[in-house]
Amino acid sequence: MRGEDSMSEVEIRHEGKVTIFTINRPDRLNAINKAVAEDLQRGFAEFDASDQRVAVLTGAGDRAFTSGADVNDLPELWRCVPTVGIVTQKPIICAVDGWCVGGGLVMAATADLCVATERARFSYPEGKLGLTGGIIAALAARIPHKMAMELMLLGRVASGQRAYEMGLVNEVAPDGKHLEVAMGMAEEMAGMAPMVLETLKSMVNDHMLPKSPAEQMALTQATLGAVRDSADLQEGLAAYREKRKPNFTGR
């Protein structure tokens, strides 16, 4: 991977063995549209295949980590959710400042670690909107049950401190210092044995944390999507049209 990269509205840069992903739509409160979801998924796939050790995911500006799905350009949100569309055994840290809404809360919950500022605000308002994708149910596997239900059913806004008390956040940073604190964590892990960290993360995600129905559905979509988008499918269709034996490559 290059030292610095920009994929549409997702900025990617490297500091040593740490890769920083920034959702760069501050004018839209870093809302996740189709391009952002796809670029995050693609960028994390490159990160996973690289020699980088740790990822930090954040949002541009101080108003929002992300306001969730962009209602004017609805994404397949599962694409940018750690453990679902973002598949890597390397550690991921979310660095949250300002609003963290809807899908953003899901991303913070499914990341391995999370840092939030004192002014951060976590909100899951789907009960007030009349629509849910169900993937938020993963929250109940990651923080105490009653805390998860408070966020999901009451839709109350939680401050950075309240999110820390719930177990959603590892550390509350002074306003504007979330990335600095997250980078401290990342650099600490970057100096550790990657095989050990990846093994521990794999054991937790694959064997200790149950997956919600929406997570399982999204994982199935991802698996089937890889087949649908494969070169082998195109080769199979071409061979059928040309009445010849296909030459599959497994890609």
For the chain, the farthest-separated pair of C-alpha atoms sits apart, in whole angstroms, at 66
**Per-residue confidence of the chain (251 residues) as pLDDT tens digits?**
434 554 579 999 999 999 999 999 999 999 999 999 999 999 999 999 999 999 999 999 999 999 999 999 999 999 999 999 999 999 999 999 999 999 999 999 999 999 999 999 999 999 999 989 999 999 999 999 999 999 999 999 999 999 999 999 999 999 999 999 999 999 999 999 999 999 999 999 999 999 999 999 988 988 898 899 999 999 999 999 999 999 999 99
Averaged pLDDT of the chain: 95
Contact call for residues 134 and 108 (beta carbons, < 8 A) = no
Closest to 169 measured CA to CA, from 192, 149, 185, 153:
185
Closest to 179 measured CA to CA, from 12, 16, 22:
22
What is residue 32's DSSP assignment?
Answer: B
* Residue position matching structure tokens 């500022």: 117
Per domain, the residue ranges of the chain are 4-193
Cα–Cα distances (Å) from 18 to 15, 88, 154, 199, in that order, read 5, 14, 37, 19
- Predicted pLDDT at 6: 47
CATH of domain 4-193: 3.90.226.10
pTM metric for this prediction: 0.92
What b-and-e string marks burial along 203-226, b requiring 16 or more CB atoms within 10 Å of the CB? eebeeeeebbebbebbbebbeeee
Cα–Cα distances (Å) from 10 to 36, 59, 179, 226, in that order, read 6, 9, 16, 22
pLDDT single digits (tens) 96-129: 999 999 999 999 999 999 999 999 999 999 999 9
